[in-house]
């Protein structure tokens, strides 16, 4: 496994992260805990040390699953990331309530990387006046989270506004050879990196869609080469991959 240093973060992070949005499921749609636990622990045993989930994944069952699967010493081996459910927040009290619930579900006393989830203009315009940045400061100060970030699904101008609005440690953007210009895109990636934010890439294979017809090298030769590299690329695992 290769590792990279994220600025302002103590430990080096594996360049491949384990995403828990598309875990294997049983016929009734529930997480196949045996198979998913084997997959997760295999990844950790082979050097993956960044594990990502969120409040709504698998209809709310991903976080509780991780809380169980990371028992037996595995929690101590990883940097755990989860996300504040932006759409459920209507007050500052909601932020603390959600974070405390997530800590219980994950069976941990802290979240290493805590993201404000799926920021788009309506969510940002609601959360900012509610004091989301003060909430993040307080959660860092009392030890419930280590590093604050956000994930993003909107236009470049809003991305830049959010980057400049707070002392984020990192951001998570959708990025692949089909999405160089959509959402934050290459320009947003560079913008965040120039401001010392770590960059975590989600959907590098568009949820597996880009594995169906893999282009030849000559077909992707136009992809720009530049010195700014994401710290982490996610492996969002699914039954189709």
Among residues 200, 131, 144, which one has the least CA distance to residue 171? 200
Q: What single string gives the DSSP state of each residue in 160-176? A: HHHHHTS--SEEEEE-S
Report the percent of the chain where pLDDT is more than 90.
78
The 10s digit of each residue's pLDDT in 136-170 is: 999 999 999 999 999 999 999 999 999 999 999 99
Q: Name all domains of the chain by residue range, CATH numbers in brackets.
A: 12-236 (3.20.20.100)
CA distance 183 to 213: 23
Among residues 46, 48, 55, 53, which one has the least CA distance to residue 22? 53
Among residues 54, 61, 104, 100, which one has the least CA distance to residue 80? 54
CA distance 14 to 10: 13
User: 83 forms bridges with which residues in the sheet?
Assistant: 115
Q: What is the mean pLDDT of residues 56-70?
A: 98
What's the mean pLDDT when you consider all of the chain? 88
CA distance 140 to 152: 21
Least trusted range by pLDDT, from 22-26, 57-61, 187-191, 214-218: 214-218
pLDDT of residue 208: 56
Instruction: Using pLDDT thresholds of 50, 70 and 90, give the confidence band for residue 225.
Output: very low
Handedness of CA 48, 49, 54, 57 (dihedral sign): positive
Q: What single string gives the DSSP state of each residue in 60-110? A: HTHHHHHHHHTTTTTGGGSEEEEEE-GGG--SHHHHHHHHHHHHHHTT-S-
pLDDT of residue 206: 55
pLDDT of residue 235: 46
């Amino acid at each position: 496994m290769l590792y990279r240093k994220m600025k302002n973060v103590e430990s080096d992070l594996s360049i491949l992260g384990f995403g828990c949005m598309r875990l294997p499921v049983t016929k009734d749609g529930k997480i196949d805990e045996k198979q998913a636990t084997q997959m997760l622990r295999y990844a950790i045993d082979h050097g993956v040390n960044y594990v990502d989930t969120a409040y709504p994944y698998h209809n709310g069952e991903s976080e509780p699953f991780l809380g169980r699967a990371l028992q037996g010493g595995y929690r101590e081996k990883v940097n755990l990331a989860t996300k504040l459910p932006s759409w459920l927040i209507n007050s500052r009290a909601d932020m603390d309530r959600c974070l405390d619930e997530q800590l219980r579900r994950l069976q941990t006393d802290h979240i290493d990387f805590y993201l404000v989830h799926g920021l788009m203009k309506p969510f940002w315009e609601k959360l900012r006046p509610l004091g989301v940045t003060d909430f993040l400061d307080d959660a860092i100060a009392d030890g419930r989270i280590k590093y604050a970030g956000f994930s993003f699904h909107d236009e470049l101008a809003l991305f830049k506004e959010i980057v400049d609005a707070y002392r984020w440690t990192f951001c998570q953007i959708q990025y692949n050879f089909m999405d160089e210009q959509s959402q934050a895109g290459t320009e947003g990636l560079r913008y965040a990196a120039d401001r010392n934010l770590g960059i975590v890439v989600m959907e590098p294979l568009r949820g597996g869609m880009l594995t169906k017809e893999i282009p030849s090298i000559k077909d992707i030769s136009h992809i720009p080469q530049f010195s700014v590299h994401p710290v982490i690329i996610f492996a969002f695992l699914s039954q189709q991959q």
